[in-house]
Amino acid sequence: MPFNYSQVLIIGATSGIGRALATTLVQNNISIVITGRREANLNEFAAQYGPDKVKTKVFDVTNLEKIPQFASEVLAENPQIDFVFVNSGIQRPFDFSQPATVDLGIFDQELVTNYTAPVYLSKAFLPHLQAQNKPTGLMFTTSQMALVPMMRCPNYGASKSALHHFILALRTQVSEGPGNVKVLEIFPPAVQTELHDAKHQPDLKDGHLIGMPLDEFVGEVWRQLQQGEEQIAVGSAKEIFDAFEPKRQELYAGMTAQLNVLIKQFLV
C-alpha cells in the first residue's frame, strides 16, 4: 500500500527524525512543508531540494497562543496539505533525589513541547483534514518510553505516555467523526540524533551516538508507512510494544464500548 498523500506538513523538521523523514519524502517525489524554530536549518534543506518540492515556515510550537494563527497561515499558503506530522520533541534529565537541581522552567518547557503543543496542533489542523473528500493523516512521534519509563528522564516518559493515551482516544474519536482521518503513531527506540547531544544533555559523552542509526530507523518507518501501518514501533520499541500493548489496547477498546453504552443511558 503506497503512501498516497499529496503534500505533507512536518512540524519539527530542523534535525533528527523530522529532517530525515523529510528527506525520504522528497526523494519519493512527495511535496512537503517543513517547520521548526531554526530558520537556517529550514533554508538549508529547501535550498538543497528546491522550492518546487519544499516550502518552509519558521515556528516554535511552545508559542501555544499562536498555534491557531500558524495553522491558518500554513493552510492558506498550502491548501493541498493532507498529512500532518507532529514531530517536535525534547528530552531532558531530572534527578528528583536532588530537588535543588531540578529546573521546573525546563520541566514545563519539555511538557509543553512533548504533550501540550501536539494537543493544540491537533485541534488546529483537524478541521482542515476532516473537510477533505479523501483520506488524510495526522501522525505523531512518541517513544518506547511512552510505554515503559526511564528513571533518568521521568518527565520525558510521562509526557510521551500522556501523548500516547491522547492518541489512542483521538483515533477512536475521529474514526466516528466527519472525514476520513487516519491517526498514526511512531514509537522510536533510542535513535542517533541530537536529542541526547552535549548541548541538551551535557553529562552524556557522545550522546548523539546512542541508539539506532537514524537512516536505519527512518528506513523502517518508511517501510511501515507504505504498508499502511497506524502504529509504527521500531527496534527495541517493537519488542516492548509487542510484550503487552496489544492487550492493553484490547482492554481500552472494551472499556470504551462499555462506556459508550453507559453514556447513552444518561444522554439528554
The shares of helix, strand and coil residues in the chain, as percent rounded to the nearest 5, are 55, 15, 35
Q: In this predicted model, what pLDDT tens digit does every residue of 221-268 receive, in sequence order?
A: 999 999 999 999 999 999 999 999 999 999 999 999 998 888 888 775
How far is the C-alpha of 217 from the C-alpha of 221, rounded, in Å? 6
Beta carbons of 154 and 106 less than 8 angstroms apart: no
Q: pLDDT tier at 18 (50, 70, 90 boundaries)?
A: very high
Predicted pLDDT of residue 83: 98
- Within a 13 Å sphere around the CA of 218, how many CA atoms are in the beta-carbon half? 17
Beta carbons of 140 and 168 less than 8 angstroms apart: no
On the question of pLDDT at 206 being above 80, the answer is no
Helical residues (DSSP H) of 145-210, grouped into ranges: 154-175
How far is the C-alpha of 181 from the C-alpha of 120, rounded, in Å? 17
C-alpha cell of 34?
517543513
pLDDT > 90 in the chain, percent: 86
How far is the C-alpha of 81 from the C-alpha of 127, rounded, in Å? 12
Q: pLDDT tier at 210 (50, 70, 90 boundaries)?
A: low
pTM > 0.75: yes
Q: pLDDT tier at 201 (50, 70, 90 boundaries)?
A: low
Predicted pLDDT of residue 209: 56
Residue located via cell numbers 531540494: 49
How far is the C-alpha of 188 from the C-alpha of 142, rounded, in Å? 7
Q: In this predicted model, what pLDDT tens digit does every residue of 118-127 receive, in sequence order?
A: 999 999 999 9
Domains with residue ranges and CATH for the chain: 7-238 (3.40.50.720)
Q: CB-based contacts of 213: which residues, under 8 Å, 6+ apart?
A: 191, 192
Number of other residues whose CB lies within 10 A of the CB of residue 120 = 21
On the question of pLDDT at 66 being above 90, the answer is yes
